[in-house]
Amino acid sequence: MHFDFRRIIMENSEIFKKLIFPESMVKEKREFPYDCDICKKSFSQKGHLNTHKCTHKKEKPYHCNICDKSFTGSIDLTRHIRVHTGEKPYQCDICGKSFSQSIVLTTHIRIHTGEKPYHCDICGKSFSRSYHVTSHKRIHSGEKPYCCDICGKSFSKSSNLAVHRHIHTVEKQYHCDICGKLFSQRSVLTKHKHIHTGEQPFHCDNSSSVSNHLANYKSIHTEEKRYLCDICGTSFSNCSALTRHNHTHTGKKPLHCDICGKSFCRSSDFTKHKRIHSGEKPYHCDICGKSFSQGNNLTEHKRIHTGEKPYHCDICGKSFSTSCTLTSHKRIHTGEKPYHCDICGKSFSQNSNLSKHKRIHTG
């Protein structure tokens, strides 16, 4: 028996067409008829294809006449110009807040809805932004794509690499004349020298019969930090401090507030938080009678009365009433900018400046 396959195909062309090209594929081709001949990506409009092709040629034909920055597509230029004009055409119909980009509005709305559409396929944890799940997955995979070009150490997050780099960039001008080690602060050098001399200038009032507790106290005095975080490289003087720190990477917060549902990884933070609900202010100033919810706030407040400024900059000698003010000041000398914008990557020396900057993105 002889089969005329050509005739069979011609007579049943519609059947073969449906078998070879399923309706979904035919429909998709109708919706995206313009193909890039370089990477085969498809587009619904010819203009979109032309804009896409500029990415292969690295052409940027659209120029901002305010700052001269160039872009591959007109849409990108339009979006950029809003940085200069302050235009925010996308408005949240829940709270009324406005945004310069539709994608930022979409992300913002998830604050109201609680939507977390990006899921980790390993542990099931959910996230509101795609790059958060990408970063999270590195906890499981152990991937550390951000490498220090000075010492070769690798990190899972770009922000951790940025923090690490300050180890190399901060000037270490205090030199140990016994072993040659360098330190950025004189006080740390002084403590370090006790390792060589055997001097024990610190009397520990907290005696303990347990050897590991004693080791912890000694490590606090000598600044020995034997417990290393294998994710970001930060060192700690005791195991419990490392465990608490690891919660910042894993997101684990075992302590839950039964009033508002907020969670915490440290009991001290949890105790402080509960005072927001209770209004408790157990720390009182014996000079003016003002009360505070935290002991350190009272200590700092008292310096208004005494004029005490116990924190000194070892570079320029300037004094400050709080340690955080000194830390912030030192960044003038070091150029350190530890606060990073997770949207555009720009860095800042103070958290308040980062908060102000983020309003450009979020409105």
| CA–CA distance, 163 with 319 (Å, rounded to integer) | 25
The pLDDT score that the predictor gives to residue 7 is 63
| CA–CA distance, 268 with 80 (Å, rounded to integer) | 44
- The CATH-assigned architecture of domain 25-87 is 2-Layer Sandwich (3.30)
For the chain, give the secondary structure using H, E and C. CCCCHHHHHHHCHHHHHHHHCCHHHHHHHHHCCEECCCCCCEECCHHHHHHHHHHHHCCCCEECCCCCCEECCHHHHHHHHHHHHCCCCEECCCCCCEECCHHHHHHHHHHHHCCCCEECCCCCCEECCHHHHHHHHHHHHCCCCEECCCCCCEECCHHHHHHHHHHHHCCCCEECCCCCCEECCHHHHHHHHHHHHCCCCCCCCCCCCCHHHHHHHHHHHHCCCCEECCCCCCEECCHHHHHHHHHHHHCCCCEECCCCCCEECCHHHHHHHHHHHHCCCCEECCCCCCEECCHHHHHHHHHHHHCCCCEECCCCCCEECCHHHHHHHHHHHHCCCCEECCCCCCEECCHHHHHHHHHHHHC
The CATH fold of domain 281-363: Double Stranded RNA Binding Domain (3.30.160)
Q: For residue range 283-317, list pLDDT tens digits in order.
A: 888 888 888 888 888 888 888 888 888 888 888 88
End-to-end CA, the chain? 76
Please give the single-letter amino acid code of residue 133. V
User: Is pLDDT larger for residue 228 or for residue 70?
Assistant: 70
Q: For residue range 141-155, list pLDDT tens digits in order.
A: 888 888 888 778 888
| CA–CA distance, 29 with 23 (Å, rounded to integer) | 10
| CA–CA distance, 169 with 173 (Å, rounded to integer) | 12
Topology agreement, domain 25-87 and domain 281-363: yes
Whether this model's pTM surpasses 0.85? no
CA 111 to chain centre: 18
| pLDDT mean over 102-116 | 85
**Over pLDDT 90: what percentage of the chain?**
0
Arithmetic mean of pLDDT over the chain: 76
Using only C-alpha atoms, the chain has a radius of gyration, in whole angstroms, of 30
Write out the two tokens for 83: 């940085």
- Domain chopping of the chain, boundaries: 25-87, 281-363
